[in-house]
Amino acid sequence: MWFLRPDCLTAFEEREIRDSIPRYIDVVEGRKLPLFKLSKIIRLEPTDDFWKAHEEGLRILREILEKDETPKRGEEGISLLDVKAYLSLELAGKCRFCEWRCGVNRIEGESGACRVKETRVSSAFIHMGEEPPVSPSGTIFFSGCNFKCIYCQNWDISQFPESGRVVSPEKLAALMDDLRRRGVRNINLVGGEPTPNIHTIMLSLRYASEDFPVIWNSNMYMSEEGMKLLLGIVDLWLPDFKYWEDECARTLSGIPRYSEVVRRNLSMAYEFPPGEIIVRHLVLPNHVECCTKPILTWVARNIPRALVNIMDQYRPEYRAHQVPRMNRRVSSDEMREAFELADSLKLRWRSVSR
């Protein structure tokens, strides 16, 4: 037995939430099909150029979403989801899921920057601690990550890709269906990081039978190709936006070109319908001026309908104590500056920040 928090019970009544993520709410409540089910329905002509077929499938899906229609299931051709699954295996063969672009053969068990050789799930359960419109969430934690954040609170999952248990696409689909039947609002793909497992996820959705919205809970460092595969699959994006300055990303997470890649991917997610996003920004000690303020300003100017969770949960975990400027909790003054800026920018943050 589990109990829903009062703020989760009333979340869909909040105007800020209803205005920002209306289609997600409709999918949760069974009024509309999730995007992966629409991608199963859309049929495409067989072709040797799968990327061209994929672009045509996204065009059809965009038209369906903009007209708010439910297409009839076709019998001829191949589905958009099948095309995505095929292309995900192609990307895995010379891995280009994220911007490390390692080029290793993930199908044969080779590993790159993330060190993920095979899809492993650390845990799968009903999560009651997510944002109000997300909880209760069917969270699936994948082992491994393409980042090396010195303050990672899930370091025992993210930095140990050999942890957890190996899952096949069929097993992953069974986990998703079981969580939905137990009453969760969504399937929340997290980690670690879900990105190294895009191929397993795409294949698993071909087997999933329940109707559930897919949440992509990610560091958002996908390659452009990886991002395109997720368009038309992800109903609600739940991305981190950690840093504005690339030097901060290199120092604290070991990541190059961070800001450029994340801004590109957030824009792609926002521009493809329904474009529903809850941005998570963890305020870091001594990083309000260099990161928090420019990030919130960029969100207000570029993805203004997005909800924004301004988080004060930072604590010096893992190896953060080794960096003097990171060896403390964020101060009340730093949080006040972030909240005041969010209000001045008219961001939609109050309904999802706790």
Mean pLDDT of 307-334: 96
Task: Answer for the pair 150, 204: CB distance below 8 angstroms, yes or no.
Answer: no
Q: What is the pLDDT of residues 28-85, one digit of tens each?
A: 999 999 999 999 999 999 889 999 999 999 999 999 999 998 888 777 899 999 999 9
Is it the case that residue 1 has pLDDT exceeding 70? no
Domain at 6-345, CATH from 3.40.50.720, 3.20.20.140, 3.20.20.70, 3.40.50.2300: 3.20.20.70
Is it the case that residue 2 has pLDDT exceeding 80? no
DSSP 274-289: T--BEEEEE--TT-II
Predicted local confidence at residue 72, as pLDDT:
80
DSSP 173-210: HHHHHHHHHTT-S-EEEEES-SGGGHHHHHHHHTT--S
Q: What is the pLDDT of residues 194-245, one digit of tens each?
A: 999 999 999 999 999 999 999 999 999 999 999 999 999 999 999 999 999 9
Distance in angstroms (rounded) separating the CA atoms of residues 112 and 196: 10
Mean pLDDT of 287-301: 98
Task: Answer for the pair 240, 220: CB distance below 8 angstroms, yes or no.
Answer: yes
What is the total residue count of the chain? Answer: 354
Q: What is the mean pLDDT of the chain?
A: 96
Mean pLDDT of 261-289: 98
Place of tokens 């601690």: 129
Q: Which residues pair with 213 in a beta bridge?
A: none
- Predicted TM-score of the model (pTM): 0.97
The full set of domain ranges for the chain reads 6-345
